[in-house]
């Protein structure tokens, strides 16, 4: 469960990286500064596209670290270019894929304390369902939505990693 | 795991119902036809807000049904008003909350066949991680984003059901 969640987060972040390629191609085709898109948002008091990517990466990274009882690596939010955001995603995916299933054996019963709420905790399984999953998909979907709202030609298949469908006839 | 997922889907749909109340209040305050908002979208080839709500309800309903090996109830997409969309959510939440933990005992190893891909299947745990979770949160977040993009005064706390934080001192 925890292991599959982290693998799925990694696969979803790789789709986000592909979305950035589409954003880059769109900016070249339409001849505008890609920074306009990286700084775009759906409302003036919302995080920009770039910040959504950083937060989604951190959601996934901290989930893996907290499930395993480890300290997450630090990734300062300094990215400015598509190449830098893609590197941030790549480093995050490498970190997520460094875990083995055994690393999460105790995940469900760990007490998870979030940095901004130092006197409160969630059990690991509560953190998974009530925090990590809704947060991660919120920021990835919002990144996707900012691109969609700005005219990049994408659909849900660009957001969702392909599920491992198998033919019914084969068994 | 499956039971907690379904409970969390129910809690998230109730947040979506509260978002509809905020949308209704906003339309009254700004004196516009709420249908304008229910028909709004972030791109011309995207589902409208109303359709996002219907799809999110169906994602959750079918997840519960498939995890339990049951037939889901039919909910035709006929909603037009905020009251009708809230009723759709209410019926879905009632259905989700009708399940007991034991109903999902075999969920992980069930073969799940989706209606639009009748010759393919996913194992229950693959359907959960690779399809049900990313789909559900995609449509709820997109509904939220359409409201946000149209000026409704909301933030992430209006999307996320409050996690059950507990004080560290209490134990």
Residue B48 lies in a domain: yes
Q: Around A41, how many Cα atoms within 13 Å sit in the side-chain half-sphere?
A: 14
Bridge partner residues of B122 (DSSP): B112
Q: What is the mean pLDDT of residues B112-126?
A: 95
| Residue B149 C-alpha, separation from nearest chain A C-alpha, in angstroms | 5
CATH value at residue A6: 1.20.120.450
> Is B167 part of any domain?
no
Chain B residues with CB-CB distance to A156 below 8 A: 138
Q: Find, in chain B, the residue whose alpha carbon is nearest to that of A161.
A: B130
Contact A99, A58 (CB under 8 A): no
pLDDT band for position A85 (50/70/90)? very high
* 3 state SS of A115: coil
Q: Is B115 on the interface with A (CB under 8 A)?
A: no
Residues A113, B168: C-beta atoms closer than 8 Å: yes
Alpha carbons A137 and B167: distance in angstroms, whole number: 27
Can you tell me the distance from the alpha carbon of B69 to that of B146, in angstroms, rounded to the nearest whole number? Answer: 34
Residues of chain B in contact with residue A1, where contact means CB-CB under 8 angstroms, are 1, 125
Q: Domain of B91? A: 2-161
B89 belongs to a structural domain? yes
pLDDT of residue A169: 77
A101–chain B Cβ distance below 8 A for any pair: no
Whole-model pTM?
0.97
pLDDT digits (tens, 9 = 90+) for A37-49: 999 999 999 999 9
Domain count, chain B: 1
On chain B, the residues whose CB falls within 8 A of the CB of A134 are 8, 12, 137, 159-161
What local confidence, expressed as pLDDT, does residue A109 receive? 95
Distinct helix (H) and strand (E) counts, chain A = 6, 3
- Of B41, B134, B153, which is closest to residue A148 (Cα–Cα)? B41
Asked if B40 has any chain A CB less than 8 Å from its own CB, the reply is: no
- Is residue B39 a part of any domain in this protein? yes
Q: What is the per-residue pLDDT across B18-65, written as a single tens digit (0 to 9) for each?
A: 999 999 999 999 999 999 999 999 999 999 999 999 999 999 999 999
The answer to whether residue A62 is domain-embedded is: yes
ipTM of the complex: 0.96
């Amino acid at each position: 469960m925890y292991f599959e969640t982290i693998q799925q987060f990694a696969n979803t972040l790789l789709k986000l990286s592909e979305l950035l390629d589409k954003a880059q191609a769109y900016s070249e085709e339409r001849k505008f500064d890609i920074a306009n898109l990286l700084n775009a948002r759906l409302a003036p008091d919302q995080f920009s596209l770039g910040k959504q990517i950083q937060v989604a990466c951190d959601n996934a990274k901290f989930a893996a670290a907290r499930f395993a009882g480890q300290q997450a690596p630090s990734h300062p939010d300094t990215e400015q270019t598509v190449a830098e955001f893609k590197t941030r995603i790549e480093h995050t995916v490498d970190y997520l894929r460094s875990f083995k299933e055994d690393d999460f054996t105790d995940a469900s019963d760990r007490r998870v304390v979030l940095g901004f709420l130092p006197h409160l905790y969630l059990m690991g399984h509560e953190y998974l369902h009530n925090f990590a999953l809704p947060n991660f998909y919120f920021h990835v979907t919002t990144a996707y939505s900012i691109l969609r709202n700005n005219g990049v030609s994408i659909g849900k298949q660009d957001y969702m990693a392909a599920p491992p469908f198998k033919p019914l006839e084969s068994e």
